[in-house]
Structure 1
Amino acid sequence: MNCLTTPWGDFDLTRFPEDPRDSLRAWDAADEYLLRHLKGIDGAAPTELSGTVVVVGDRWGALVTSIAEHRPVQVSDSFLGQQATRANLERGGVAPGAVRLLSTRDTVPERIDVLLVRVPKSLALLEDQLHRLAPAVHAGTVIVGTGMVTEIHTSTLKLFERILGPTRTSLAVKKARLIFCTPDPQLAPAASPWPRSYTLAADAGAGAGLTVTNHAGIFCAERLDIGTRFLLRHLPRSRGPERIVDLGCGNGVVGTAAALANPEAELLFIDESYQALASAEATLRANPATADTEARFLAGDGLSGVPADSVDLVLNNPPFHTHQATTDATAWRMFSGSRRALRPGGELWVIGNRHLGYHVKLRRLFGNCEIVASDPKFVILRAVKGKDRGRARGGQSGS
């Protein structure tokens, strides 16, 4: 836990899930720069935080925790970020309900008087969110964005200018910048170009011919990534009624292909991104063969919200970076959660880059791990819970 010093006071903040070994802070210089600017420090005139204040992309709640007295609305795509925000607000003694937490899929306020934007990593997500927010912006809306200099590009500024109005940037301070945008009432509101869809080609194995839908901010939204394509060529064979989890589902193409190959299965799609879950549901329902599949879509921290010994198969393409930090902590939580959630004899199938060495973790957790398929870049691994190997299934042939 680290202490953020702001013009509104000092706040102990953490990321989520809280890990005392994690040295990464729940804020950075871009958050500090924006908070100083709002209070009129460093020569700027103070910003009047009145009316409806909306904060978009506040990664761990540092911004809304600091300005909670102004009753802001937070809009976030991250379940983990929202959980961190709740914990940080409670730790800061903020009264319940003082900050309203919305996902990127929720309806935004009808009128926005102050719009604060923490620039996301994904330019597409920024584009989509600015389109969604634009109808609520009026001529008097104060719009200020913030980000590290590596996150703010000419394309970032052009988005603000094209969707909201004239835009300029500040000087860099501690490698962070501010974005100042003046709403232009003459700009005609336009619809977001998201979501987008494409159809998988014949070389996508079990996914061949599927329509894939991607909302803004999803990994490889324009095409299928090569790791997922490799996994689709080697999905497990059907074994009758069972419960299958697409863990870290992204656009849901793996779970949809599994539903196609296992018509009697019940599917559970899990991701920490609300945009991903919306994409997964759209992908499943867009394909006639899976449109009526029994499925749930769960925002969560891996399998932490799933009962123990309740699933038969987990399919997982774990990220090795999360919220711009390169780490294997997310993969480890996914593997540990899978072992807990699987029934005895249940299986975890993992696709990953060969160099990541996931087999070491899986053998430590499950006591076993075998290679289903591999190529020079990727490896598909299978770990079975318990000693009953009789239920192990083979991969589909073909590459």
Structure 2
Amino acid sequence: MNIEPGKHILILNDSFGALSCWFTHEHSVTMMSDSYIAHQGVLENLATNQCKNITLSNTLDDIPANVDYVLMQIPRSNRHLVWQLSQLRLRLGQSVPVIAVNKAKEIHTSTLALFEKYLGSTHTSLAWKKHRLVFSIADSSKKLAVDPLTKWQVDSHNFELSNLPNVYSGEKLDQGARFMLDYLPKDLNTKRVIDLGCGNGVLSVKLGIDNPNVRITCVDESYMATTSAQTNLLNNLGKQRDITCITNNCLDGFESDTAELVICNPPFHQQQAITDHIAWQMFCDAKHVLCNDGKLLVIGNRHLGYDVKLSKLFGKSKVKLIASNKKFVILQATK
């Protein structure tokens, strides 16, 4: 497809900036992503390749005006996809092409049905190098309103959570968090707590309920996660509590010796890849911010071997098992 120079290209979910860099040479580019790390990756690659500046925003922001083409990396979460398609339908004219891409095995009949329902006429390309393009235009007969929030009660803990479209486990409580809720400390003497990789803030809400004097800082790389966490903490703990929610790459920029407790439910995926490098960065950053005798409380799948990693970082004698079941372990490391 040939695009005449000087067009406004909207790029959704560009992970590291390949599309953004390519199109800056002849076009004006806006890149929207829910990922802080994606934003930083795009900026780094633009600078490295001496590309022109682009406009960065997150997927809670309004679709910009006067877009000529939309290029989309289809997100993993269908809720996030539906949100983006609904927003495109509200803002785009029928003359604006929307071109989406994913691995062919990830584009199902149900995926195409979502494009048809929430955006408009849709067809696909043939597969090429295991990927497929989806071509669509904003001409569906109805502009379907989509509520960005999904709300549900946390069983047996008597509080409700609100979840924006791209929040991990946004439709139900994930098993790891469910297990860890029963082992969070109570009646803490400590004041400064960091929830690293906070998601919707479920662990912070429970910790805040049981420890009314703690100061809680929630950190995640998802803008939707930190926004959801802030909403949930304010709704369940009240506006008078000392609460901060930060969208960041782990604990970049945090000063040392500034927390007595870090709680962490690390992800072990980045996009489609299974990896432990994110957890390792979280553990290193946690040790950096913890004061002497401060504690890191971690939950993870048994097979991930977090005990070995924590022992290398904190010392074997400083790591102990708090609880375990057939799938998960909860570990405590003391600085």
1:177 maps to 2:177 = no
1:199 maps to 2:153 = yes
The separation in 2 between residues aligned to 1:49 and 1:370, in whole angstroms, is 60
SS at match of 2:105: coil
Please give the root-mean-square deviation of Cα atoms over the aligned residues, in Å.
1.5
Q: Given that residues 88 and 138 in structure 2 are in contact (C-alpha distance below 8 angstroms), is that contact kept between their aligned partners in structure 1?
A: no
Deviation of the 1:49 alpha carbon: 5.8
**Residue in structure 2 matching 1:264, options 189, 203, 213:** 213
Letter in 2 for 1:109: P
The separation in 1 between residues aligned to 2:144 and 2:6, in whole angstroms, is 27
**Residue in structure 1 matching 2:12, options 40, 50, 56:** 56
SS at match of 2:217: strand
Using structure 1 for the length normalisation, give the TM-score: 0.80
Deviation of the 1:278 alpha carbon: 1.6
**Residue in structure 2 matching 1:162, options 92, 96, 117:** 117
Deviation of the 1:47 alpha carbon: 3.0
Map of 1:17-36 to 2, 5 A cutoff?
Answer: none
The separation in 2 between residues aligned to 1:355 and 1:270, in whole angstroms, is 25
Deviation string, structure 1 residues 119-161 (Cα, Å, up to 9, x no partner): 1111111111111222220021121111111221112211111
**Residue in structure 1 matching 2:35, options 78, 83, 95:** 78
SS at match of 1:60: coil
Deviation of the 1:86 alpha carbon: 0.4
Q: Given that residues 34 and 166 in structure 2 are in contact (C-alpha distance below 8 angstroms), is that contact kept between their aligned partners in structure 1?
A: no
- Gaps in structure 2 of 5+ consecutive residues: none
Q: Given that residues 320 and 327 in structure 1 are in contact (C-alpha distance below 8 angstroms), is that contact kept between their aligned partners in structure 2?
A: yes
Letter in 2 for 1:294: D
Partner of 2:171: 222
Using structure 2 for the length normalisation, give the TM-score: 0.95
Letter in 1 for 2:221: E
Deviation of the 1:188 alpha carbon: 3.1
The separation in 1 between residues aligned to 2:41 and 2:261, in whole angstroms, is 29
Letter in 2 for 1:54: L
Deviation of the 1:220 alpha carbon: 1.8
The separation in 2 between residues aligned to 1:335 and 1:133, in whole angstroms, is 39
**Residue in structure 1 matching 2:55, options 74, 79, 100:** 100
The separation in 2 between residues aligned to 1:248 and 1:260, in whole angstroms, is 19
Partner of 1:293: 241
Letter in 1 for 2:43: R
- Gaps in structure 1 of 5+ consecutive residues: 1-39, 41-45, 203-207, 386-399
1:312 maps to 2:312 = no
Map of 1:1-399 to 2, 5 A cutoff?
Answer: 40=1, 46-48=2-4, 50-69=6-25, 70-95=27-52, 98-184=53-139, 187-202=141-156, 208-240=157-189, 242-287=191-236, 289-367=237-315, 368-385=318-335
Going from structure 1 to structure 2, the CA distance change for 1:226 and 1:187 (only over 3 Å counts) comes to same
The separation in 2 between residues aligned to 1:300 and 1:49, in whole angstroms, is 35
Going from structure 1 to structure 2, the CA distance change for 1:110 and 1:190 (only over 3 Å counts) comes to farther
Deviation of the 1:290 alpha carbon: 3.8
SS at match of 1:191: coil
Deviation of the 1:268 alpha carbon: 0.7
Letter in 2 for 1:155: S
Q: Given that residues 363 and 369 in structure 1 are in contact (C-alpha distance below 8 angstroms), is that contact kept between their aligned partners in structure 2?
A: yes
